Amino acid sequence: MTRSDTNAVEVRGLVKHYGATKALDGVDLDVREGTVLGVLGPNGAGKTTLVRCLSTLVVPDAGTATVAGYDVVRQPRQLRRTIGLTGQYASVDEKLSGWENLYMIGRLLDLSRKDARRRADEMLERFSLTEAARRPATQYSGGMRRRLDLAASMIGRPAVLYLDEPTTGLDPRTRNEVWDEVQRMVAEGATVLLTTQYMEEAEQLAHELTVIDRGRVIAHGGVDELKARVGGRTLQVRPVDPGQLPGMARALSDSGLAGVAGATVVPDEGLLYVPILSDGQLTAVVGLLGERGFGIAHIGTHLPSLDEVFLAITGEKTSAAASGTIPEEVAA
């Protein structure tokens, strides 16, 4: 992974109003070259508006933003040449085949016919779409379309890639495929600004996180830092015999393992909760309980939801949860 201290994206005091709506209300953020910044926020937080400003599709009312050193307002043409964009909704032309979509984008990016053909072939291969290359995109599954979308955003070899809720509305298997692709692109040196509503996605993909709500940054930090602030992952253990819960908690606190002091028993649920600080600790806790002869009926882990994260950071529910907004994927 190529990481450096140079910022590929720098945003300062960015403001964008739509009438009375403050979609962006003074946003500051940085994306370091070669890293993934996760922009985490509920529906209506301003994520897409931010991506649109950084893509020159929307002109901000105030503030500044540069991408690869190019100013979004003063150098839109140069800037557009350095970025790739994948939106929440697939932007492929469904009547065309996968190959035709990619070829057309290559031509739009001023590649010669020969180069556009070669690049389309390469990208189809890369995203495992070679077999489906000649079929119209209407016949593609959701996951294939999303991969075609990613391929399209990569045609111009962008230095900086924006992924705006790339997995919203996808089933878990397809979501994992997209995650794998994003991780591969980052391993190959891409800088990524990823927006998401999912804590789990941010944890999987992002090096750093900026949490926004109502157009404002409400928290920023490393994924681990934020997890520590909101309590992070917990392990849930259900013994075969609920009567063993106190004994399990005692065995853990006597063990002196890191983090187990925070273990709590919830008799009504028949569960023991243990805050998890590392994968190693998770293994150690389960191993210890096994060694001590406790019968375990079920173990699971729980990640804080976005709403729990917001509650922990601000003491308030998300604006989406507070106003009862129906999630886009449900409304669509």
Which among 46-54, 57-65, 202-210, 284-292 is the span making contact with Mg ion, rule CB under 5 A?
Answer: 46-54
Q: Of 211, 222, 186, which Cα lies nearest the Cα of 50? A: 211
Report the amino acid identity of residue 299. I
Nearer to Mg ion, 48 or 86 (CB): 48
Binder of Mg ion out of 48, 56, 153, 167 (CB under 5 A): 48
Residues that bind ligand ADP (CB under 6 A): 18, 21, 23, 41, 43-49
Nearer to ligand ADP, 75 or 319 (CB): 319
Nearer to ligand ADP, 181 or 213 (CB): 213
Nearer to ligand ADP, 54 or 132 (CB): 54
DSSP state of 107: H
How far apart are CB 329 and ligand ADP at their closest, in Å? 11
Which among 44-52, 57-65, 247-255, 305-313 is the span making contact with Mg ion, rule CB under 5 A?
Answer: 44-52
Longest dimension (CA), the chain: 73
The binder of 84, among Mg ion, ligand ADP, none, by C-beta within 5 to 8 A per type, is none
How far apart are CB 140 and Mg ion at their closest, in Å? 23
Number of separate helices (H) and strands (E) present in the chain: 13, 14
Q: Name residues whose C-beta falls within 8 Å of residue 62's C-beta, 6 or more positions apart in sequence.
A: 13, 14, 15
SS3 call for 118 = helix
How far apart are CB 203 and ligand ADP at their closest, in Å? 19
> What backbone torsions phi and psi does residue 39 show, to the nearest 5 degrees?
-105, 105
Determine the straight-line distance between the first and last CA of the chain, rounded to whole angstroms. 38
The binder of 21, among Mg ion, ligand ADP, none, by C-beta within 5 to 8 A per type, is ligand ADP
Which among 41-49, 63-71, 151-159, 210-218 is the span making contact with Mg ion, rule CB under 5 A?
Answer: 41-49
Q: Which helix (DSSP H) or strand (DSSP E) does residue 42 occupy?
A: none
How far apart are CB 213 and ligand ADP at their closest, in Å? 9
Sign of CA dihedral 319, 324, 327, 328: negative
Nearer to Mg ion, 47 or 119 (CB): 47
Burial of 181 (0-12, 13-18, 19+ CB in 10 A): buried
The binder of 41, among Mg ion, ligand ADP, none, by C-beta within 5 to 8 A per type, is ligand ADP
The binder of 23, among Mg ion, ligand ADP, none, by C-beta within 5 to 8 A per type, is ligand ADP
Cβ proximity of 60 and 14 under 8 Å: yes
Beta bridge partner(s), residue 220 = 210
- Does 49 bind Mg ion (CB under 5 A)? Our answer is no
How far apart are CB 128 and ligand ADP at their closest, in Å? 29
DSSP 143-202: HHHHHHHHHHHHTT--SEEEEESTTTT--HHHHHHHHHHHHHHHHTT-EEEEEES-HHHH
Nearer to Mg ion, 48 or 244 (CB): 48
Nearer to Mg ion, 67 or 163 (CB): 163
Nearer to Mg ion, 23 or 276 (CB): 23
How far apart are CB 223 and ligand ADP at their closest, in Å? 20
Burial of 328 (0-12, 13-18, 19+ CB in 10 A): middle
How far apart are CB 264 and ligand ADP at their closest, in Å? 34
- Does 167 bind Mg ion (CB under 5 A)? Our answer is no
Rule CB under 5 A: which residues touch Mg ion?
47-48
